[in-house]
């Protein structure tokens, strides 16, 4: 039996057919659902509909504080042209293509990365870089492989692969629209993304959103943690009601692992369209230690602070729960904050060792929801709170050459 939705006593599970795609049996809230006509009803689509009805009902509640945490699953496969978001395992393949299989294998041997399966290296780029960063201070390089230079090559490749352009059909557009549709007197929706790309920034700019991201509104844009404490209000023609002073279409954006458009300068941390050496925490075990440096410390502090607030919902999308410093903060919130609600959206509900603790909790506690769903589908079916209608920004295009008779 495979769960596609879990929320304590409320659940949706399926038994698949021999082809691995069709659904033979459907279980709703622990009871097998009886179909009246097997030839007419599509069991798989019916199961998906039940799942979406359940999570839409959960998300239709108005949470005072809304936080979103996204991992690789919110970027993978998204981008214009041939350059699309990649998983770490796919970046391993990219590194092999760029360096050459012989050089990558020699690099693995030199730094003593020995994880193999059936004679092939396990594609764990994070572990490889972790071992390599330790080895570079103790293991001498060879004529064939220079350890520090090879690390730099792999990191440059990661940055290049994360310089993505947002396509017009990306789910980021509708998702931001929906999560920001809140009563303006409530705290702004806050998006924490562990990805280095700028897909959320591009979606925000295209939708005419004001993005509070820790950088100044003046140019050049420099980082300061106090910028997260600012909001945007309308003073001209203000009304008697306080809520009318706050403008719509505003959200907060935090990037705890850095960004392809950040760079460290003598004047401070600067955001720029052209960056030679990006300020990013590259995949490695020391991510936890690096998070205590600025601006990453500010991002993590804000994440922890927000998880401790009253009536808070955290939605994790495409997050593997492998980052120790992030998982520790979520575990603390589950243990200490009685008003904390957690929704986890991933492609499949995992039963791995690192995720089993959360799986077991979700079977017992109603404040934890696990959903088997892609980000693109979740953004599409995320409920739209119509009670807080906001003025839509509509771009007006005037074509002066398109005249009658011409």
Query: With bands split at pLDDT 50, 70 and 90, how would you rate the model's confidence at 288?
Result: low
Region of poorest pLDDT, from 14-23, 151-160, 200-209, 282-291: 282-291
DSSP β-bridge partners for residue 117: 120
Cis status, amide bond into 295, omega within 30 of 0: yes
Q: Domain 58-80+166-388: state its class.
A: alpha beta
The residue ranking higher by pLDDT, 404 or 249, is: 249
Mean pLDDT of all residues belonging to the chain = 90
330 vs 336: CA distance, rounded Å? 10
| DSSP conformation class of 73 | G
Q: What phi and psi values does residue 115 have, to the nearest 5 degrees? A: -70, 115
pLDDT per residue as tens digits for the range 164-199: 999 999 999 999 999 999 888 899 999 999 999 999
The residue ranking higher by pLDDT, 56 or 245, is: 56
* Structure-token match 């409920």, residue found: 383
pLDDT per residue as tens digits for the range 76-135: 999 999 999 999 999 999 999 999 999 999 999 999 999 999 999 999 999 999 999 999
Residue 398 predicted with pLDDT over 80: no
pLDDT score at 185: 82
Domain ranges of the chain: 1-36, 58-80+166-388, 88-161
Residue 406 predicted with pLDDT over 50: no
Angle 334-337-340 from CA coordinates, rounded to 5°: 70
Angle between the N-to-C axes of helices 199-206 and 172-179, in degrees from 0 to 180, rounded to the nearest 10: 70
Pair of tokens at residue 9? 């006593």
Pair of tokens at residue 71? 């991992």
Distance of CA 245 to the CA centre of its chain: 31
Angle 13-15-19 from CA coordinates, rounded to 5°: 135
366 CB neighbour count, 10 Å cutoff = 12
Query: In sequence order, what are the residues at sequence separation of 6 or more whose Cβ sits closer than 8 angstroms to the Cβ of residue 6?
Result: 349, 359, 362, 363, 368, 369, 370
Q: Where are the beta strands (DSSP E) in 17-70?
A: 23-28, 31-32, 65-70
Query: In sequence order, what are the residues at sequence separation of 6 or more whose Cβ sits closer than 8 angstroms to the Cβ of residue 87?
Result: 72, 76
54 vs 373: CA distance, rounded Å? 13
* Structure-token match 């792999």, residue found: 154
Q: Coil, strand or helix: which one is 270?
A: strand
* % residues pLDDT > 90 (the chain): 76
401 vs 369: CA distance, rounded Å? 54
pLDDT per residue as tens digits for the range 225-248: 999 999 988 777 555 555 557 888
Query: pTM to 2 decimals?
Result: 0.91
311 vs 61: CA distance, rounded Å? 11
Cis status, amide bond into 220, omega within 30 of 0: yes
Contacts 24+ apart (CB under 8 A), 237-243: 242/185, 243/183, 243/184, 243/185
């Amino acid at each position: 039996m495979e769960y596609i939705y879990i929320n304590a006593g409320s659940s949706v599970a399926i038994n698949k057919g021999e082809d691995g795609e069709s659904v033979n049996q459907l279980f709703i809230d622990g009871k097998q659902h009886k179909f009246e006509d097997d030839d007419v009803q599509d069991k798989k689509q019916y199961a998906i509909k039940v799942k979406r009805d359940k999570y839409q009902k959960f998300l239709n509640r108005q949470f005072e504080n809304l936080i979103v945490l996204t991992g690789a699953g919110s970027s993978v496969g998204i981008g214009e042209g041939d350059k699309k978001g990649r998983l770490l395992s796919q970046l391993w393949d990219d590194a092999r293509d760029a360096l050459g299989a012989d050089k990558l294998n020699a690099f693995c041997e030199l730094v003593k990365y020995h994880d193999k399966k059936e004679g092939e290296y396990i594609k764990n780029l994070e572990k490889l870089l972790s071992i390599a960063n330790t080895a570079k201070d103790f293991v001498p390089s060879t004529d064939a492989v220079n350890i520090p230079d090879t690390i730099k090559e792999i990191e440059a490749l990661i940055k290049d692969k994360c310089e993505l352009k947002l396509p017009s059909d990306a789910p980021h557009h509708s998702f931001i629209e929906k999560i920001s549709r809140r009563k303006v007197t409530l705290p702004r929706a806050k998006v924490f993304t562990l990805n280095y790309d700028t897909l959320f920034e591009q979606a925000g700019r295209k939708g005419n959103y004001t993005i509070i991201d820790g950088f100044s509104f003046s140019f050049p844009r420099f980082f300061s943690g106090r910028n997260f404490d600012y909001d945007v209000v309308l003073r001209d023609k203000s009304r008697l009601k306080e809520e009318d002073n706050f403008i719509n279409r505003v959200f907060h954006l935090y990037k705890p692992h850095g960004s392809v458009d950040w760079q460290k300068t003598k004047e401070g941390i600067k955001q720029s369209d052209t960056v030679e050496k990006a300020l990013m925490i590259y995949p490695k075990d020391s991510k936890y230690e690096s998070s205590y440096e600025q601006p990453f410390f500010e991002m993590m502090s804000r994440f922890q602070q927000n998880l401790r607030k009253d009536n808070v919902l955290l939605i994790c999308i495409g997050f593997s729960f492998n980052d120790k410093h992030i998982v520790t903060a979520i575990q603390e919130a589950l243990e200490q904050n009685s008003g904390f609600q957690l929704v986890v959206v991933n492609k499949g509900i995992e039963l791995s060792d690192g995720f089993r603790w959360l799986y077991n909790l979700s079977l017992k506690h109603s404040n934890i929801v696990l959903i088997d769903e892609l980000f693109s589908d979740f953004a599409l079916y995320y409920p739209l709170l119509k009670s807080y209608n906001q003025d839509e920004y509509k771009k007006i295009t005037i074509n002066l050459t398109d005249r009658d008779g011409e």
